[in-house]
């Protein structure tokens, strides 16, 4: 491994406890990091308790790897552990001011007779519209317009919007859940990474720009003098914007930074609903409780995985 490469170990544990036995369960698992130009999944292992009756692998319409699990034996608990070793190459610095104006990008994605999009532009149009968690509304366009004056280079405007969301919104885990409308997030100015990603997507799409939701992990740093704790992290979310000539460019509004060497991508889609790490249906009644424990650490800190989870 050359000095410029970074390797991370990732462990993602999910545990469902059911108040009554479940007779049958189907789960879609999106926990294998994608293969990208700067990201390589060197090893990946998925284990479950109980073991599935069937295990099928496929790629979804966004190119994300998916594992489909079918459990047919009665169970009152389901445990899923995904472990990955991922290698990241640092990116080449991105010249934000060299990007085309945001109006030119917007106009280039508009459908009109005789206008033929290339393959990249055609793919991008799938992320122009409303989706389950993203709204296209005047309120979002009005909020974003302050960062997109006339002739502003696209990526400069996106970076300004990211910084403003980081300044003006408060990270508050108890303020929202996945069902909280993004319009409420705009009004309350509170939320978590999923909310800030959906908010930023709503702003960009309301301006006529193509942007997608990215699911993954981010390296967290323990307090000075303290050892990293296993299971103390969570999945992360950020935004990727389509820029002709540069492709998709990532922005993290929760941390006000452009992902570089401390973000690992699981997958992307129109919003969270397209890339939920674990989603399924069960045959049974009663309630369930879910516990999630995530750890991302440099390969050199592999000893921490001997700790008991929180």
- The verdict on 48 and 152 lying in the same domain is no
Has residue 220 been placed in a domain? yes
- The verdict on 69 and 191 lying in the same domain is no
- Domain harbouring 41, CATH code: 2.60.40.2250
- The verdict on 72 and 198 lying in the same domain is no
pLDDT in tens, 166-176: 999 999 999 99
- The verdict on 109 and 83 lying in the same domain is no
pLDDT in tens, 197-246: 999 999 999 999 999 999 999 999 877 767 665 566 889 999 999 999 99
Distance separating alpha carbons of residues 251 and 197, to the nearest angstrom? 9
Has residue 1 been placed in a domain? no
Has residue 137 been placed in a domain? yes
- The verdict on 38 and 28 lying in the same domain is yes
- The verdict on 181 and 282 lying in the same domain is no
Give the range of the structural domain holding residue 296, as residue numbers without chain letter: 6-89+276-306
Distance separating alpha carbons of residues 193 and 259, to the nearest angstrom? 14
- Domain harbouring 153, CATH code: 3.10.620.30
What single-letter DSSP state applies at residue 3? T
Has residue 188 been placed in a domain? yes
Q: What is the mean pLDDT of residues 40-57?
A: 97
- The verdict on 20 and 83 lying in the same domain is yes
Rounded to two decimals, what is the model's pTM? 0.94
Q: What is the mean pLDDT of residues 103-109?
A: 97
Q: What is the mean pLDDT of residues 136-165?
A: 98
Has residue 138 been placed in a domain? yes
Strand partners, 84: 10, 44
Has residue 139 been placed in a domain? yes
Name the band, by pLDDT with cuts 50, 70 and 90, for residue 155. Answer: very high
What single-letter DSSP state applies at residue 252? B
Write the secondary structure of 119-185 as one string of H (helix), E (strand) and C (coil).
HHHHHHHHHCCCECCECCCHHHHHHHHCCCCCCCEHHHHHHHHHHHHHHHCEECCCCCCCCCCHHHH
Strands of the sheet with 24-29, listed across from one edge? 54-59, 65-71, 24-29, 278-283
Has residue 250 been placed in a domain? yes
239 in Cβ contact with 263 (< 8 Å): no
- The verdict on 14 and 70 lying in the same domain is yes
- The verdict on 226 and 143 lying in the same domain is yes
- The verdict on 167 and 295 lying in the same domain is no
Q: Which two tokens stand for residue 201?
A: 């997507």
234 in Cβ contact with 290 (< 8 Å): no
- The verdict on 55 and 197 lying in the same domain is no
Please give the tally of structural domains in the chain.
Answer: 2
Has residue 29 been placed in a domain? yes
What single-letter DSSP state applies at residue 96? G
- The verdict on 27 and 131 lying in the same domain is no
């Amino acid at each position: 491994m050359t000095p410029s490469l970074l390797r991370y170990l990732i462990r993602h544990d999910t545990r469902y406890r059911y108040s009554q036995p479940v007779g049958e369960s189907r789960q879609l698992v999106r926990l294998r990091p994608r293969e990208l130009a700067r990201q390589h999944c060197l090893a990946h292992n998925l284990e479950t308790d109980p073991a599935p009756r069937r295990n099928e692998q496929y790629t979804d319409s966004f190119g994300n790897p998916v594992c489909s699990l079918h459990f047919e034996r009665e169970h009152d608990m389901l445990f899923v552990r995904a472990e990955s070793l991922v290698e990241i190459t640092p990116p080449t610095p991105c010249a934000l001011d060299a990007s085309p104006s945001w109006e030119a990008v917007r106009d280039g994605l508009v459908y009109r007779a005789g206008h033929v999009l290339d393959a990249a532009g055609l793919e991008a149009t799938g992320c122009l519209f409303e989706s389950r968690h993203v709204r296209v509304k005047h309120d979002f366009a009005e909020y974003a317009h302050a960062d997109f004056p006339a002739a502003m280079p696209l990526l400069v405007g996106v970076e300004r919007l990211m910084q403003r969301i980081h300044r003006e919104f408060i990270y508050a885990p108890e303020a929202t859940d996945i069902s909280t409308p993004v319009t409420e997030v705009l009004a309350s100015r509170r939320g978590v990474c999923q909310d800030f990603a959906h908010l930023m997507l709503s702003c960009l799409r309301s301006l006529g720009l193509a942007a997608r939701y990215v699911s993954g992990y981010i390296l967290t740093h323990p307090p000075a003098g303290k050892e990293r704790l296993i299971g103390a992290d969570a999945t992360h979310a950020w935004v990727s914007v389509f820029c002709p000539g540069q492709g998709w460019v990532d922005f993290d509004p929760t941390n006000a930074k452009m992902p570089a060497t401390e973000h690992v991508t699981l997958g992307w889609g129109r919003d969270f609903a397209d890339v939920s790490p674990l989603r399924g249906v069960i045959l049974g009644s009663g309630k369930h409780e879910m516990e999630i424990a995530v750890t991302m650490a440099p390969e050199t800190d592999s000893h921490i995985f001997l700790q008991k989870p929180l």
